[in-house]
Structure 1
Amino acid sequence: MIDPAQMFSINGRVALVTGASSGIGRMIATGLAACGARVYACARTAARLEATVAEIRQETSGDVIALPGDVSTVAGIEALVAELSKSEKQVDILVNNAGTICEAPIDEYPEEGWDNVLSLNLKSCFFLTQKLLPMMRAGATAERPSTVINIGSVGALRIGPKETYAYAAAKAGLHHLSKSMAKRLAPENITINSIAPGFFPSDMTQITSDEMHDMLIQMVPRRRVGQPLDLAGLAVFLASPAASYMTGTVIPVEGGMSL
């Protein structure tokens, strides 16, 4: 029998969201908290993170905890997991969202920028998931799996107008990494899916002029930029019982940009 009250419920679930102080991470953390999850919001800059967490609490009356940390290195990931394990025995939802970007002409593209993007946008997603596996296995069942949501990009589905080579490569790699890990972890009741957002307001996607805004809108068949509900709703769905049979998928949320 279908229970509508439980179909999309994430009430009481424990979530960790990286890159949560702004943009997409903030949108998803807010949505999860509003729907009853206990959300650990992670970002590098503690003061900014604390301010964001205070705002989310006020907006949602939800259970949101600031957990500053740097996931760009394995040492930073291990420290973050150790700190989280002091408060929780299991993690039900992991959102790998932390990311960065480097834009430069192909003849001048820097090695440091390349390495920074690949480390944060791709490597960190693997190793944070790896280090959290004991906590994700702890509460996972066939009926209620633990879930990993990796934030990819429409930039991995179509070639955009900017020279962001490492970003596109990392996000395309993340989509495929998600599939590889999903196949391995499905028998252990852990699902892994990717969201491929289009243009959502964030620190990495600032609109600097009305002309740029109009040009961008013309690229989107839906004729608007993404809004918080567009991502929050999908994240809640993927973390809910309704999506327990979904794994290894890449879901575009981009208003038709990749068509």
Structure 2
Amino acid sequence: MDVSDLFSIKDRVAVVTGGSAGIGRHIALGLAAAGAKVYICARTEAKVKATAEQLAAETGGTVIGLPADLSSTAGIAALVAAVTQREGALHILVNNAGTISEAPIDDYTEEGWDQVMDLNLKAPFFTTQRFLPLLRAGGTADHPAAVIHIGSVGALKIGPKEVYAYQASKAAIHWLAKSMAKRLGRDAITVNAIAPGFFESDMTVISSDEMRKMVVGMVPRGRTGAAEDVAGAAIYLASKAGSYVTGSVIPVEGGLSI
């Protein structure tokens, strides 16, 4: 067995949605450092382009920032068109863009519910659908194209926060990975989900030493997530090493869901 390129993603083309911060930035950083050509998108043009420049400088790789609002199918179509103008094939699609709405059950609004569902669930489906021509062009029998949905430990374990739409959307994403995997395997496309635990970001802020002690105390590994934790999982799924893994949900949460 030749394992020299088993985990290689060198020269693969990747798109990471919501790639300007948090989990998306961690994954984009890892993919670029491993030699992939990475497109990241986010709503704010200045922020996504600045992040792309930072990631390129940090890794020595190629990172391109594209502004995109994935909360509508028109925004998704614009992103796909922008990538299609530049590339003839796509090898890695990371559906990471997401949002959260927190409120007591008696006060939870329809607007908050719909915003979460549109970005966390509807967008990954239609983004994948619109990218299928490029993904089919990028996949081969021995190295399929990889779609990676970002789920959540919140779909594996109910936490203390009242984030009803978020948890429902992430549970649905886990099952969406399975249903897409069953259909797209024949097209040399794998579809999996990563379920991150507590990674510090704009969405999950540790605001005090007391809070940090509480969070870390719930995690058997005794720490919050680091960039290489989630980047490593994505690289594995996108490499030949992960070519026989599809329809799976991989928890990257230090044992938090146990």
What TM-score do you get using the length of structure 2 for normalisation? 0.99
Paired with 1:7 and 1:101, the residues of 2 have a C-alpha distance of 36
- Give the match for residue 44 of structure 1: 43
1:1-259 matched pairs, under 5 angstroms: 1-2=1-2, 4-259=3-258
Unaligned ranges ≥5, structure 2: none
Encode CA deviations 1:56-107: one digit per residue, 9 max, x unaligned: 1111000111111111111110011111111001110000000000000000
Paired with 1:114 and 1:232, the residues of 2 have a C-alpha distance of 29
Encode CA deviations 1:229-249: one digit per residue, 9 max, x unaligned: 001111111000001000000
* SS of residue in 2 equivalent to 1:257: coil
Would you identify which runs of 4 or more consecutive aligned residues in structure 1 move more than 6 Å? none
Encode CA deviations 1:92-124: one digit per residue, 9 max, x unaligned: 000000000000000000110000000000000
Paired with 2:56 and 2:37, the residues of 1 have a C-alpha distance of 11
Encode CA deviations 1:189-236: one digit per residue, 9 max, x unaligned: 100000000000111101111111111111111110000000111111
Paired with 2:28 and 2:247, the residues of 1 have a C-alpha distance of 22
Deviation at 1:139, TM superposition (A): 2.0
Q: State the superposition RMSD in angstroms.
A: 0.6
Paired with 1:82 and 1:242, the residues of 2 have a C-alpha distance of 30
Unaligned ranges ≥5, structure 1: none
Counting aligned pairs with the same residue, the percent is 62
AA of the residue aligned to 1:248: G
Paired with 1:79 and 1:19, the residues of 2 have a C-alpha distance of 15
Paired with 1:53 and 1:235, the residues of 2 have a C-alpha distance of 19
Paired with 1:124 and 1:247, the residues of 2 have a C-alpha distance of 20
What TM-score do you get using the length of structure 1 for normalisation? 0.99
Paired with 1:174 and 1:134, the residues of 2 have a C-alpha distance of 22
Paired with 1:207 and 1:81, the residues of 2 have a C-alpha distance of 35
Paired with 2:208 and 2:110, the residues of 1 have a C-alpha distance of 30
Paired with 1:249 and 1:195, the residues of 2 have a C-alpha distance of 8
